[in-house]
Amino acid sequence: MTELYIRRDLTDLPDARGYFGEFGGRFVPETIIPALDELEGAYADAIADPSFHDELAHLQRSYTGRPTPVSYARRLSERLGGAQIYLKREDLAHTGAHKINNALGQGLLAKRMGKRRIIAETGAGQHGVGTATAMALLGLECHVYMGTVDIKRQQPNVFRMKLLGAEVIPVTSGSRTLKDAINEAMRDWVTNVETTFYLLGSALGPHPYPMMVRDFQSVIGVEAREQIQEMAGQLPDACIACVGGGSNAIGMFHAFRDDEGTELIGVEAGGHGIESREHAARFADLDISRPGILHGTRSYVMQDDDGQIMETHSISAGLDYPSVGPEHAHLRQMERAFYTMATDEEALEAFQVLSKTEGIIPALESSHALAEAIKRAPTMPRDSVLLVNLSGRGDKDLDTVIGVLGS
Ligand SMILES: *Cc1c(COP(=O)(O)O)cnc(C)c1O
């Protein structure tokens, strides 16, 4: 049972300095290095300890509801008339998305390190809610930094966090959005590092975070790889996942890395289209996206000629980020994974199609992955198999969709 929840034997990456090829690393102020070293040591210690795995596995089964199922999308597949589409149902995990996998893993690690004060930052509030949930369960103190612009835009999630016992700390500096919240959380961590654990929400940030978040999410792919073989009698021809920071995608991809017949496809937010420059397609628009440093790690970053970080746009808050996890930049460079994008409009269409054909309302983020499956399936033979990671449920997006489609 143990290795089911954290799979690390498929790659030796990152290297000892936290690099995935030429991406990743640690680009942080000197003052944070000891905290990262301490975290790295504690994590290495934890994953060598069977009792840590057992405790996490127990929570994943009895609290999150793992394993989440794989569902065959029969009506959708028939309608498209090509590949058979299967969905990994992270929307059925407690709180309705994959983020809880990581929040529980890091929460247990914090507890083990004797740090009872947890800080996190959030943009749309999804990571804040996931963290607040796990901290309520584990009995840890939770403080979430959030820009005042985002607080205004995301009232229901602010209320959820408070209900779950977290303190939401308004950030009024800069553009008062996610990147300012990240800066404030970093500042807090430097000041209170003795007592405080910084819980990062995606496969981003300085080493060891991208590795650690990947490992905690790798349960998605480990489960799905077994389930799809049982259901479809074969490995998938392709795995498709949306890519914001990249945690649900890397969690799905990892188990399939050595399966040469399985293509790995990440889908970024194409927003209003590449020409509009209003998107978050870090791998698609190489005029404005190039290797650079953001939030402690080296990866692709959307930036202007002076290196100023660009504003991004996506209909889905979870994909709306100017950089991307460093392991994705590496997988792309190695040509082990391929990246494409779906526009707001394509995601909205997929959102409605899945609702009507399968009775599943997907998150707008996940709808980007579905949009790619909808494009691809008709071009593939009927005995081929597509596995889509349905990273979350769409209830949180109803207001957005009503706003666009009208009632
Ligand atoms: C946050 C979120 C994402 C994007 O984050 P990743 O780290 O790229 O997985 C995708 N889907 C859902 C449902 C989310 O809440």
pLDDT in tens, 287-305: 899 999 999 999 999 999 9
The Cα 112–Cα 108 span in angstroms is 6
Check residue 358 and give its pLDDT: 98
% of the chain surpassing 70 pLDDT:
97
Check residue 122 and give its pLDDT: 93
Check residue 6 and give its pLDDT: 63
Phi-psi region of 232 (alpha: psi -120 to 50; beta: other; left: phi over 0): alpha
Structure confidence by residue, pLDDT tens digits, 263-272? 999 999 999 9
Residue 218 CB less than 6 A away from ligand 1:
no
The Cα 134–Cα 177 span in angstroms is 24
Question: Ligand 1 mean position to 111 CA, how many Å?
Answer: 25
Question: Ligand 1 mean position to 260 CA, how many Å?
Answer: 26
Across 9-18, 122-131, 355-364, the highest mean pLDDT is recorded for 355-364
Contacts 24+ apart (CB under 8 A), 330-337: 330/13, 330/20, 330/21, 330/22, 330/23, 330/24, 331/253, 331/264, 332/283, 333/21, 333/22, 333/23, 334/21, 336/257, 336/264, 337/253, 337/264, 337/265, 337/266
Among 299, 336, 322, CA closest to 23:
299
The angle subtended at Cα 188 by Cα 182 and Cα 193, nearest 5°, is: 120
Question: Ligand 1 mean position to 266 CA, how many Å?
Answer: 12
Mean pLDDT of the 89-113 span:
97
Beta bridge partners of 297: 294
242, 243, 250, 390: residue to mutate for ligand 1 pocket, most atoms within 8 A of CB? 242
| Number of CB atoms found within 10 A of residue 225's CB | 23
Among 7, 4, 5, 14, CA closest to 331:
14
φ/ψ of 223, rounded to 5, equals -65, -50
Check residue 374 and give its pLDDT: 98
Query: Is a pLDDT exceeding 70 seen at residue 9?
Result: no
Q: Which amino acid is at 36?
A: L
Question: Ligand 1 mean position to 213 CA, how many Å?
Answer: 12
| Whole-number Cα distances in Å, 105 to 10, 31, 310 | 20, 25, 32
The Cα 200–Cα 35 span in angstroms is 14
Among 179-193, 230-244, 333-347, 368-382, the range scoring the smallest mean pLDDT is: 179-193
3-state helix, strand, coil split of the chain in percent (to 5) is: 50, 20, 35
Structure confidence by residue, pLDDT tens digits, 54-78? 999 999 999 999 999 999 999 999 9
Residue 126 CB less than 6 A away from ligand 1:
yes
Is residue 93 within 8 A of residue 66, CB to CB? The reply is yes
Check residue 3 and give its pLDDT: 47
Mean pLDDT of the 153-164 span:
94
Residue 90 CB less than 6 A away from ligand 1:
no
| Whole-number Cα distances in Å, 212 to 89, 136, 312 | 22, 22, 26
100, 199, 297, 365: residue to mutate for ligand 1 pocket, most atoms within 8 A of CB? 365
Residue 175 in tokens: 């553009």
Q: Is 334 helix (H, G, I), strand (E, B) or coil?
A: coil
Pairing mode, if any, of strands 167-171 and 141-147? parallel
Q: How confident is the model at residue 406 (pLDDT cuts 50, 70, 90)?
A: confident
Query: Is a pLDDT exceeding 80 seen at residue 8?
Result: no
Query: Is a pLDDT exceeding 70 seen at residue 2?
Result: no
Q: How confident is the model at residue 177 (pLDDT cuts 50, 70, 90)?
A: confident
Q: Quickly list H helices, 240-363.
A: 247-253, 326-333, 344-358
Check residue 12 and give its pLDDT: 66
Residue 318 CB less than 6 A away from ligand 1:
yes
Pairing mode, if any, of strands 167-171 and 297-302? unpaired
Among 69, 65, 154, CA closest to 104:
65
Q: Which atom of ligand 1 is nearest the CA belonging to 251?
A: 9
Q: Give the residue whose CA is nearest to atom 5 of ligand 1.
A: 244
Check residue 407 and give its pLDDT: 67
% of the chain surpassing 90 pLDDT:
88
Cis preceding-peptide flag for 14 (omega within 30 of 0): yes
Which residues are the active-site residues? Answer: 99, 121, 391
Q: Give the residue whose CA is nearest to atom 1 of ligand 1.
A: 318
Beta strands in 195-328 (DSSP E): 196-198, 238-242, 263-271, 289-294, 297-302
Check residue 285 and give its pLDDT: 87
Question: Ligand 1 mean position to 395 CA, how many Å?
Answer: 14
Check residue 4 and give its pLDDT: 46
Check residue 1 and give its pLDDT: 39
Query: Is a pLDDT exceeding 80 seen at residue 10?
Result: no
Structure confidence by residue, pLDDT tens digits, 360-397? 999 999 999 999 999 999 999 999 999 999 999 999 99
Mean pLDDT of the 122-141 span:
95
Query: Is a pLDDT exceeding 70 seen at residue 5?
Result: no
> CB under 8 Å to 300, separation ≥6 — which residues?
282, 283, 289, 290, 291, 292, 323, 324, 329
Pairing mode, if any, of strands 289-294 and 297-302? antiparallel
Mean pLDDT of the 11-23 span:
90
The Cα 35–Cα 41 span in angstroms is 10
- Average pLDDT, whole number, for the chain? 94
Q: Enter the pTM of the model.
A: 0.96
Query: Is a pLDDT exceeding 90 seen at residue 154?
Result: no
Q: Which atom of ligand 1 is nearest the CA belonging to 213?
A: 7
| Number of CB atoms found within 10 A of residue 308's CB | 9
Q: Give the residue whose CA is nearest to atom 7 of ligand 1.
A: 247
